[in-house]
């Protein structure tokens, strides 16, 4: 099969595929509306002819650009990378493209990024957490742009959400340490500014302690950026004190890695001298020695679910506004009962 790739249009693709132009259009704009065999046949013709659908024409005919925007705090966090990969794979399977922006946990930057994405015609928007400018929510409502907050479950708010109950999950992690017999427990968490997930996890940690009549001394709780260096510095400050905890609960796995590295550098053994628990269950967590006890969060399913929600809204379906994602405590080698000497 040969064709002039510069001149190949939808009519030529339809003729070579043995279908109508309307069928080709449906296969491109709504892949689920045609059979898998037919979609494969049309795609083969497209691949062989080099036909590229004109984006503006498709947008005018369908009143959609078939693009979804997502704004995340950073691409440095492995959890975000895994989630975005899952989201992009799902959207691609439905004929949509993902446009990604970052805001560095700055809601002013997020508002500007959202304006830029909307001006470029994104059909829907996926946001991280629920710390946003009211102006952003007003803009999305005025433009009728469907959106969802990822990484949280907050059914008491009117804004759509999908994620775990961060407070409950953190409460479970801290309860694990308490059940092992730890009474002197520190916390290394993410910065709370514009980060409702971090704030919820801290509330969960503190609630579990308070239920057992325990407190979190100020010097045993440090907030840092999601980096190994900052986590190590936090652990260094906690472990250099005159009184030190027997366990440290961390706001995510990267922070836990930093705490474990610093403990080892100071000649301590995990978990014999100090127990460490993380949050997220990143890939490296099960490969470390000792392997990390952590909360498993199904990041892939969460971000894919966000994409499914947006596309369902675009297709006119009435769907629930809030989706709670299950979590599970994964007990590995980094936690154990405290030693008799209280270290």
Per-residue pLDDT of the chain (343 residues; tens, 9 = 90+): 444 444 568 888 888 889 998 888 888 777 778 888 888 888 888 878 777 665 545 554 556 789 999 999 988 778 888 999 999 999 999 999 999 999 999 999 999 999 999 988 999 999 999 999 999 999 999 989 999 999 999 999 999 999 999 999 999 999 999 999 999 999 999 999 989 999 999 999 999 999 999 999 999 999 999 899 999 999 999 999 889 999 999 999 999 999 999 999 999 999 999 999 999 999 999 999 999 999 999 999 999 999 999 999 999 999 999 999 999 999 999 999 998 655 4
Is residue 334 a part of any domain in this protein?
A: no
Residue 57 maps to which CATH number? 1.10.260.40
Residue 237 maps to which CATH number? 3.40.50.2300
Determine if residue 76 is left, alpha or beta; phi over 0 gives left, psi from -120 to 50 gives alpha, anything else beta. Answer: alpha
Indicate whether 280 and 244 sit together in one domain: yes
Domain range for residue 30? 10-61
CB-based contacts of 12, cutoff 8 Å, min separation 6? 3, 49, 51
Domains identified in the chain, total number: 3
Indicate whether 288 and 172 sit together in one domain: yes
Indicate whether 47 and 108 sit together in one domain: no
Indicate whether 310 and 285 sit together in one domain: no
Q: What is the pLDDT of residues 47-80, one digit of tens each?
A: 787 776 655 455 545 567 899 999 999 887 788 8
Indicate whether 18 and 46 sit together in one domain: yes
- The whole model's pTM is what? 0.81
């Amino acid at each position: 099969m040969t064709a002039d790739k510069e001149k190949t249009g939808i009519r030529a693709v339809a003729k070579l595929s043995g279908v109508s132009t309307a069928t080709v259009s449906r296969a491109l704009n709504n892949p689920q509306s045609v059979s898998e065999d037919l979609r494969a046949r049309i795609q083969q013709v497209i691949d062989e002819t080099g036909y590229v659908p004109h984006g503006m024409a498709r947008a005018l005919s369908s009143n959609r650009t078939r693009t979804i925007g997502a704004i995340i705090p950073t691409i440095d966090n492995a959890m975000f990378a895994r989630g975005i990969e899952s989201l992009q794979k799902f959207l691609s399977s439905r004929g949509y493209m993902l446009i990604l922006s970052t805001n560095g946990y700055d809601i002013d930057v997020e508002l500007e990024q959202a304006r830029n994405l909307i001006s470029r015609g994104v059909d829907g928007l996926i946001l991280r957490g629920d710390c946003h400018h009211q102006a952003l929510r007003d803009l999305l409502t005025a433009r009728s742009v469907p959106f969802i907050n990822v990484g949280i479950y907050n059914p008491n708010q009117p804004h759509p959400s999908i994620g775990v109950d961060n407070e409950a999950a953190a409460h479970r992690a801290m309860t694990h340490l308490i059940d092992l017999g730890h009474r002197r427990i520190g916390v290394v968490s993410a910065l709370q500014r514009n980060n409702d997930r971090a704030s919820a996890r801290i509330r969960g940690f503190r609630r579990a302690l308070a239920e057992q009549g325990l407190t979190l001394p100020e010097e045993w709780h440090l907030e840092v950026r999601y980096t190994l260096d900052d986590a190590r510095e936090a652990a260094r400050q906690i472990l250099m004190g005159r009184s030190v905890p027997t366990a440290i609960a961390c706001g995510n796995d990267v922070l836990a890695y930093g705490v474990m590295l610093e403990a080892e550098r100071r000649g301590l053994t995990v978990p014999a001298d100090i127990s460490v628990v993380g949050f997220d269950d990143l890939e490296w967590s099960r490969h470390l020695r000792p392997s990390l006890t952590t909360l498993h969060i199904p990041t892939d399913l969460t971000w894919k679910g966000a994409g499914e929600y947006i596309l369902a809204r675009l297709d006119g379906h009435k769907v629930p506004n809030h989706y709670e994602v299950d979590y599970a405590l994964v007990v590995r080698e980094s936690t154990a009962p405290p030693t008799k000497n209280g270290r």
